[in-house]
Amino acid sequence: MIRKLKDGTYRLYSRKKDEKTGKRRNLGTFDTREAAEKHEREVQYFKRH
């Protein structure tokens, strides 16, 4: 899940919520949405290989 922050950057959050905190994990902050989407694809690839 990618969200745009107030300062104009984009943050990648995990798809599932953390059971202990009830929040999503921060998987990185990026300057552009394209960079965040690229990293999300890398994370999904890594999870399955």
Quote the CA–CA distance of 19 and 39 in Å, as a whole number. 24
In the chain, the number of structural domains is: 1
pLDDT per residue as tens digits for the range 5-36: 999 999 999 999 999 999 999 999 999 999 99
pLDDT at 31: 98
Q: Which domain holds residue 21?
A: 2-48
Count Cβ neighbours within 10 Å for each residue of 4-22 and write b for 16 or more, e otherwise. eeeeeebbbbeeeeeeeee
Average pLDDT, the chain: 96
pLDDT at 22: 96
As given in the structure block, the two tokens for residue 4 are 């745009």
The HSE-up count of residue 48 (CA atoms within 13 Å, CB side) is: 6
- What is the band of 38 on the pLDDT scale with cuts at 50, 70, 90? very high
pTM of the model: 0.85
- DSSP, collapsed to helix, strand or coil, labels residue 8 as coil
